[in-house]
Chain A
Amino acid sequence: MELIINGQTQVLEPADTMEDVIKQLGLLGKPLVAEANGVVLTAEQWATTSVVPGMRIELVHFVGGG
C-alpha cells in the first residue's frame, strides 16, 4: 500500500488503520503525533482512523534532547 509519509512516497504492507501503519514502522510507544490529511490525531485515535492508499501522513516525533 502506497502512502505519502512525511512528504515521501512509501510502500507498506496493507494497513487498515493509522495504528497499523505506526506499528509497521516500529513507532508504537514513541512520543509521536500523527497527522492524516492535515488533521492531528492523538494516540487513542490511531486505532479508529482508517488509512487509504495515497493518504498524506505526517509523523511528528517529539524530540527529547536539549
Chain B
Amino acid sequence: MEEMQMDSEQMKQRYSRQMLFSPIGEAGQRKLMNSAVLIVGMGALGTVLANHLVRAGVGHIRMVDRDYVEKSNLQRQLLYDEQDVVHMYPKVIAAEKKLRIVNSTVKLEPVVADVTLANIAELLEGMDLVLDGTDNFQTRFLLNDACYKAGIPFTYGGAVSSRGMSALFVPGRTPCLRCFIQAGDSGGETCDTIGVIAPVVDIVASYQAVEAMKLLVGAEDQRRSSLVTFDIWHNRFYELKFGEPHPGCPCCQLKQYPALEWRERDAAVSLCGRETVQIRGNAPLELAVWKERLSPIAREVTLNPFLLRVELSEGERLVMFPDGRVLVQGTEDIVRAKTLYARYIGQ
C-alpha cells in the first residue's frame, strides 16, 4: 500500500458519486487511493481495466505490454487513436498519455516489456492485485502461478468472438486457474482468427474491474465466488460456482508453480494468428545505432523513442525494441524469422 496525498475536499469533488455509493464511501475511497495494481496486457481488456481503475482513483497503476498500437486495435482498444497508430507508440505509452489527463492524481507506471519468468517477480513487487489483460494462456499461467506463490489476488478475464469470461482468484480463499484447466491451447480460436466484438470485451473487463474494487475496499462478503461466462450475441449467461480447489492442482495445492520452474524456453515464438514471430535477443538494442546501420540496406526505417521499425526489401518488417526484443512481421515461420534476424541483426 502506498500513501496518496489529496485533501478531502478535492477527494469529494472528484469521487463524489463513487463515495455516495455506500459500500465504498469515504473509507473505501481512501483504500482505493492507497492501492497498487498491475495490469498485464494493454489491449482490449487492459485499456478498459485501466480506464475504470484510473477514474476510480486507484492510487498506483503499473501497466505492462510488449506491443505497439496498430490500426486493427482501434475497433476495441478504447484508449488509442489514429495518431497513436501514425506514431507507432507502444501501447502503454499511448495509454499513459490518455490516462494522465483523465486523472493526474494517479501514479501511472508504464512498462514496455514482454512478461516472462525473468521479470515477473519485479513486476509484482508492491502490488495488491494483478489484472489479466493478456491474450494468451502461457502468460496467464505464469501470472496465476506467480500470484499464488506471492499471495497476490489475480483476476482472470478472456474474450473472443462474442464470448467472454471472468473470475477473481484469491490465494488461500478460492481455487486458481489451474484448478479448472491444465491445457492452455485455445485450439486456434483467438481474436486474430475468429475476431471479437468490442462490447464483450468491455463487459468482461468491467466484471474484472468491479471485483477488483470489491477486493481493494475489503468488501469480502460481496465477492463473486464463481466464474462468469457469457455469450452476448447468442444470449447465454452461465456461472460456474467455485467449489473446493482441485486436490491435485500443481499451483494452489501442490505448490509446484509449474510456470515458475526455470526451463530452456525457445527464444523465438510465433504470435498466433498475427503473422508475427517474436525473437527475444539476449542484449539490449541501441536503436539510434541500428537506424544508421540498417538505413542503407532497408526499404524504409522509422525510429521513435520506443522502437525502430524496419521495412525489409524481402517484404517482411522488423520492429526492434530497446530491451532486445524483435518482432518479425509478415511471417509465421520461425525459421524464416530467424533467418532474417540473423541476416540483419546477427547473433
A residues with a Cβ closer than 8 A to B are 6-7, 29-33, 35, 38-40, 42-44, 58, 60-66
A29 touches B187 (CB 8 A): yes
B236 touches A6 (CB 8 A): yes
**At the interface, yes or no: B73 with Cβ under 8 Å from chain A?**
no
CB distance from B132 to the nearest CB of A (A): 7
Interface residues of A, dominant DSSP? loop
Q: Which of B19-27, B90-98, B116-124, B188-196 touches A?
A: B188-196
Q: How far is the CA of A61 from the CA of B231 in the complex (A)?
A: 11
Q: How far is the CA of A2 from the CA of B248 in the complex (A)?
A: 32
Chain B residues lying within 8 Å of A7, measured Cβ to Cβ, are: 236, 238
Q: A6-B236, A32-B181 are in contact. Are A62 and B133 (CB under 8 A)?
A: no
Interface residues of B, dominant DSSP? mixed
Q: How far is the CA of A66 from the CA of B132 in the complex (A)?
A: 8
A63 touches B158 (CB 8 A): yes
B133 to A, closest residue via Cβ: A66
B185 touches A31 (CB 8 A): yes
Q: Which of B30-38, B42-50, B296-304, B313-321 touches A?
A: B42-50
Among A7, A31, A44, the most chain B Cβ lie within 10 Å of the Cβ of A31
B135 to A, closest residue via Cβ: A66
B184 touches A31 (CB 8 A): yes
Chain B residues lying within 8 Å of A65, measured Cβ to Cβ, are: 44, 135, 158-160, 186, 190-191, 196
Q: How far is the CA of A30 from the CA of B241 in the complex (A)?
A: 20
A60 touches B240 (CB 8 A): yes
12 residue pairs from A and B, CB less than 8 Å apart? A6-B238, A30-B187, A31-B186, A63-B165, A64-B137, A64-B190, A65-B159, A65-B160, A65-B186, A65-B191, A66-B45, A66-B133
